[in-house]
Structure 1
Amino acid sequence: MTELTKLAPFRLAPYFSERIWGKKSLEPWYASTGTTELVGEAWLTGPASVIETGELAGKTLAEAIREDADAVIGPKGDREFPLLVKILFPNEKLSVQVHPDDVQAQAIGQPRGKTECWYVLEAEPGASVMLGLTPGAGPDQVRAAVAGGTMEQLMQHVPVAVGDMVFVDAGTVHAIAPGVTLLETQQTSDTTYRLYDYGRPRELHVEQSLGVMKTTTKAGKIAPHAMDGFTRLIDEQYFSVDRFDLAGGSLEVAMESVGCLVGLKGTGSVDGVEFKAGQAVIVPLGLGKVQVEAKADFAFARCLSPVS
């Protein structure tokens, strides 16, 4: 077994997930997706993402954890990387959807629910997201709106701009429209109930959605906080996300729990492993801190799971 403190940070290749609402091209983030189909999501820390550097190169993240979980996520992990980090590229409206919380997910045999957050990387003028129900809306109103094609009228529309952080806790009815590119950090889960889909020929999960949705949630914009050397974007039960801006040179970055670094702008390296905008580097548990270097302006996010 690889000793916990001997496994170096390693870079992952994004896994491109085809979606009906996605795009043919993800430039300038990615020169190619390897497919001619519409791609809506780049999974940066997905189980099928392939490791590109170090002694684990060629394995998927899921394979690496299955073979030696202690070295990657530590002995207290549940045999999956705890955070699924993605970049979303909507070219059309996503479905109106909702995710179960931990208790609800475990009741149907899933290991965990799906709470997430969105960091706005790009936004056109007037861009917005739909986040939560309007006051007074309940199951009866939602069911009628789904049947009548008026679901958007029951949603709260929240304007967003570059740099905004939006929290979306489990149980929040939500949707994303075109005009934005989002960095999504979430619990590792793909359990999604589709409540309304604008007439597209996909399965709906109306009753499941009504069973897990909450009429009031904590969802909304989170104000950034200046910290010592970085900006705290969000700190919630399942994750924290911070932004670092490095104007060349080097910077020591603490990694007190399992997590990853994600390039947002430019090119840099972490403990010698190069990464750029749109790429993630996993920092195995036990390293404690890493050294990030860049020759020019470089921005990256630190996404951490809770301290065990």
Structure 2
Amino acid sequence: MKLKQKKVPKPWGQLSLPQIFGGKQKEKIGEIWFTPEKGITPTLLVKYIFTGEKLSIQVHPNDRQARRQGFPRGKDECWYIVDAEPGAVLGIGLTKEVSATKLHAAVVCDQIEQLVEWKPVKRGDLYYIPAGTIHAIGPGIQLIEVQQNVDITYRLYDYGRPRELHLDDAISIATTAPYNMKNHLEAVPDQSVKLLDGPHFRLFQVIADDHDMLRDTIAGEWHAIPLEGEVTVRGKVIRAGECGLCAKASDIDLSANIKSLIACSMK
């Protein structure tokens, strides 16, 4: 099926989106979610993110921690950089390992930005963000996020914006150490590659009709996200800026594909 677009206003979003999303907007749009019309709750959520300002510094719980709070699952996610302005950065992990007490002090003393590791990014970068990773997205970035489908975020710091913070919850689950760069990959633009092989989902960059990349993966659901060209999912044409959902890799026709991301949830 073709999933519907849901535009989500954010104070850090952008007034001008790519033409495939309508160009100029009446309010700042930060995210575009792809969701079913009704009756289905996918295990994964795919979204585009557009940043005009820094996002909050935040962290997500893992499955066990989230279920203690009444949620069905935790939140691992990954970011595929579609475009980035010169000098754009992501905040991922810390510059050094610290205690929970020192992390708390950095937040209340407005020094958390200096403790976060800010990494330069470019088109084609892939970052896997396991639950517990302290993270933020800087301005001037367009990315595709694939995540476990749950809305649970603990904010550590929000640059003075009038939004709720969750300091105690965030510190109790945060990994207070540098980011493991084994979770970063630079995708070769014209090659099919498995970008991520995580415990909850996988992500592939598929060039042309290279269906062999997908054949040996047993998954619960598949999301097709064209970047160039188009794919067909159970008879529905899915173009750049859209997302299709199906139950089997064989339901995805790549004959008109140029470059797509294909995500699947692990059973």
**TM-score of the two chains, using structure 1 as the length reference:** 0.78
Counterpart-to-counterpart distance in 2, 1:267 and 1:31: 18
Aligned length: 260
Q: Write 1 or 2 for the structure with the bigger share of strand.
A: 2
User: What SS does structure 1 have at the residue aligned with 2:2?
Assistant: strand
Match of 1:42 in 2: 32
User: What SS does structure 2 have at the residue aligned with 1:118?
Assistant: strand
User: What SS does structure 1 have at the residue aligned with 2:42?
Assistant: coil
RMSD, aligned α-carbons:
2.2
The answer to which of 129-138 and 115-124 deviates more is 129-138
Alignment-mate amino acid for residue 108 of structure 1: Q
User: What SS does structure 2 have at the residue aligned with 1:209?
Assistant: helix
User: What SS does structure 1 have at the residue aligned with 2:244?
Assistant: strand
How far residue 218 of structure 1 moved from its aligned partner, in angstroms, is 6.0
Counterpart-to-counterpart distance in 1, 2:240 and 2:251: 21
Contact kept, 8 Å, 2:94 with 2:115, in 1: the verdict is: yes
Match of 2:84 in 1: 123
Alignment-mate amino acid for residue 284 of structure 1: A
How far residue 225 of structure 1 moved from its aligned partner, in angstroms, is 7.7
Q: Kindly provide the CA deviation profile for residues 59-94 of structure 1, in whole angstroms up to 9, marking residues without a partner as x.
A: x2xx332xxxxxxxxxxxxxx311111111011100
Counterpart-to-counterpart distance in 1, 2:169 and 2:210: 47
Q: Kindly provide the CA deviation profile for residues 104-153 of structure 1, in whole angstroms up to 9, marking residues without a partner as x.
A: 10111111111111011101122210101222322222222222222111
Match of 1:148 in 2: 109
The one of 98, 101, 111 equivalent to 1:137 is 98
Give unpaired runs (5+ residues) of structure 2.
none
1:283 aligns with 2:262: no
User: What SS does structure 1 have at the residue aligned with 2:131?
Assistant: coil
Alignment-mate amino acid for residue 22 of structure 2: A
1:30 aligns with 2:25: no
Match of 1:305 in 2: 265
Contact kept, 8 Å, 1:131 with 1:173, in 2: the verdict is: yes
Alignment of 1:1-308 (within 5 A): 10-31=1-22, 36-44=26-34, 49-50=35-36, 60=37, 63-65=38-40, 80-216=41-177, 219-220=180-181, 221-223=183-185, 230-246=192-208, 252=211, 254=215, 256-257=218-219, 258-285=221-248, 288-294=250-256, 298-306=258-266, 308=267
Counterpart-to-counterpart distance in 1, 2:184 and 2:43: 22
Match of 1:5 in 2: none
Give unpaired runs (5+ residues) of structure 1.
1-9, 51-59, 66-79
Counterpart-to-counterpart distance in 2, 1:279 and 1:173: 29
Contact kept, 8 Å, 1:222 with 1:233, in 2: the verdict is: no
User: What SS does structure 2 have at the residue aligned with 1:208?
Assistant: helix
Alignment-mate amino acid for residue 243 of structure 1: Q
Q: Kindly provide the CA deviation profile for residues 39-64 of structure 1, in whole angstroms up to 9, marking residues without a partner as x.
A: 111112xxxx35xxxxxxxxx2xx33
Change (3 A) 1:136 1:217: closer
> What percentage of residue pairs aligned between the two structures are identical?
35
User: What SS does structure 2 have at the residue aligned with 1:172?
Assistant: coil
Counterpart-to-counterpart distance in 2, 1:86 and 1:113: 17
Contact kept, 8 Å, 2:225 with 2:260, in 1: the verdict is: yes
How far residue 302 of structure 1 moved from its aligned partner, in angstroms, is 0.5
How far residue 175 of structure 1 moved from its aligned partner, in angstroms, is 0.5
